[in-house]
Chain A
């Protein structure tokens, strides 16, 4: 036999993997404890990413529901120059309503000059209400825009408004204060002594919840008794748009209202919801991702530490394997396989724990859990990488152990 005919020793990949797993199964409790740090690190990563996405989605959803479809047009006459004509024309609702993407629009302002009108109820005649009840002049369109709920009756309509009829709608709290409980008897409220027939009682609204404390009267009726909106009591228009149309509507509203003087209005639009969500994600996410990174680092140190201890503990085994034909890199590969197996195990468990955390938090808060695949799927891989990196140094140390010295132990 010649030297060239002597075959080198070898280690099959399957055997390497088998030894890696066997090393973990031999000491299950130790394996679990070793993996714990990495499990927490990976879980923290997945949970942070998932929770930021979930919370961000939540903000987005609330936004979509209301604020994102709301545009407010304000009378911009800050110098209180008191133009001769009102900023909002009588047909303001229709003008804005004609813009594509508008669902409803209505004008409103608090009634009264320097002193608010006095409101009295029917049930206790002669006695004014215990608290100041604001009187709001409103165009009929406002009732569509605020998305009201009705406990009784209905809103006043364009006809009431045009004819300046003395009708009123009460907010829920105002109705309670005024003692209005039943509309069948056509009760009236007295505003500065003028009776207004109550035709509807609100029990809630999605927008302008402050209206629940107010008495609402048609804008033309209000103008008849208390004049146009004046200094400090500027009129505003609330516009509800289709989803996604707010910005476009806002750009057109002023011109549609007053083609002759669009500069008399300022238009308030909702912030871009995506921008807001990203901002939240960035702020909260970065901090927690940093913490998760620290967690993962501690996990890696844990694996490195245990693998190092295992190497020292298993010096005789290393000597034995060398005597049985293992080469230094076979030994290194074996320890690397063990730490890699611990790492990926931790990655899988961590991903599962993280995902469950996100789902649990979302359930508890009544949110919709959002788990991006990009946040969950790389987790086991991240665990593997942590395991390999952590095991590298101990593996090299193990490979350098001399078999003769190892066997003498």
Chain B
């Protein structure tokens, strides 16, 4: 298996003041098609790591290769290009645009890679159908339940068919039955060949991963691999 991600000695210090070392000497290699769960207590640096992996933030130390490309050599425009085409995000807070329809919220993920609007629309409806929300395509987020909102967010993340799906506490705001559905959906995606990295502090979510790493005070340690 080829490595999709390769982090070597990654460190990140927030400039502050006072400066805060949120990540230190993190090494992580994720193979394509794997599902890695990142565990850790609150404030340990999980989101910070995800932002680095998702090319939203630049590490202050170390080397990060995405699909074999050293990301340090990429300008902001190309990093944005990778985010638009190769990386999908699912957030704990969903982050849907409140005044736009579910469909608009999905198709916006295809806008910054320059997909023409007719194809965006077709793909958007397909993705909503895949998460079981075809009938809610024109609903506003305020008219959707929490679980439905997160499914819209997953449809959005999957629309560009990214190589990497990053989930930051994807079930944090949901009850266990709804969470179960979301996790099934993520597992389905992984089975279809996409790579998934999920952040959580919930053992139920962690159990879904094929591999788990723990982060504590900005340091990564490999946990006992989940049974495969």
Contact = CB atoms under 8 A, between A and B. Distances in A.
Interface string B43-71: 00001000100101100000000011110
A14 B156 CA distance: 21
Contacts of B57: 404
B117 A322 contact: no
Contacts of B80: 8-9, 322, 325-327
Contacts, number: 98
A320 interface: yes
A52 to B, nearest CB: 43
B162 to A, nearest CB: 10
B99 interface: yes
Contacts of B99: 26-27
A6 interface: yes
* Chain A residues touching B, majority SS: helix
B95 A316 contact: yes
A3 B111 contact: no
B111 A15 contact: yes
B69 A324 contact: no
Contacts of A325: 80-81, 83-85, 112-113
A258 interface: no
Interface residues of B, number: 38
A6 B82 contact: yes
A298 B184 CA distance: 55
A403 interface: yes
A326 B112 contact: yes
Contacts of B100: 22, 26
* A: interface residue count bin: 20 to 34
B112 A404 contact: no
Interface in A307-349: 316-317, 319-328, 330
Given A10-B114, A404-B56, A408-B47, A320 B97 contact: yes
A354 B108 CA distance: 39
A33 interface: no
A324 B56 contact: no
B78 A3 contact: yes
Given A317-B97, A403-B56, A407-B95, A9 B69 contact: no
A2 B67 CA distance: 9
Nearest to B55: A323
A324 B97 contact: no
B97 A1 contact: no
B107 to A, nearest CB: 10
Interface string A1-31: 1110011111110110011001000110000
Contacts of B95: 316-317, 319-320, 407
B73 interface: yes
Contacts of A316: 93, 95
Nearest to B83: A325
A15 B69 CA distance: 30
Contact of B69 (A6, A22, A326, A403): A6
Contact of A9 (B47, B54, B77, B104): B77
B77 A404 contact: no
Nearest to B51: A404
B130 to A, nearest CB: 19
B116 to A, nearest CB: 8
Interface string B89-106: 101010101011000100
A349 B68 CA distance: 55
B76 A327 contact: yes
Given A1-B67, A11-B111, A324 B47 contact: no
B91 A407 contact: yes
10 contacts: A1-B67, A3-B74, A15-B117, A19-B111, A22-B104, A316-B93, A316-B95, A322-B83, A324-B84, A407-B51
Given A10-B113, A316-B93, A317-B95, 15 more contacts: A7-B85, A8-B81, A9-B113, A10-B112, A11-B114, A12-B114, A15-B117, A18-B117, A22-B100, A26-B100, A323-B89, A324-B112, A326-B80, A327-B80, A328-B76
Interface of A: 1-3, 6-12, 14-15, 18-19, 22, 26-27, 316-317, 319-328, 330, 403-404, 407-408
Interface of B: 47, 51, 54, 56-57, 67-70, 73-78, 80-85, 89, 91, 93, 95, 97, 99-100, 104, 108-109, 111-114, 116-117, 156
- Listed from nearest, the 3 A-B pairs whose CB atoms lie closest are A325-B84, A325-B112, A8-B77
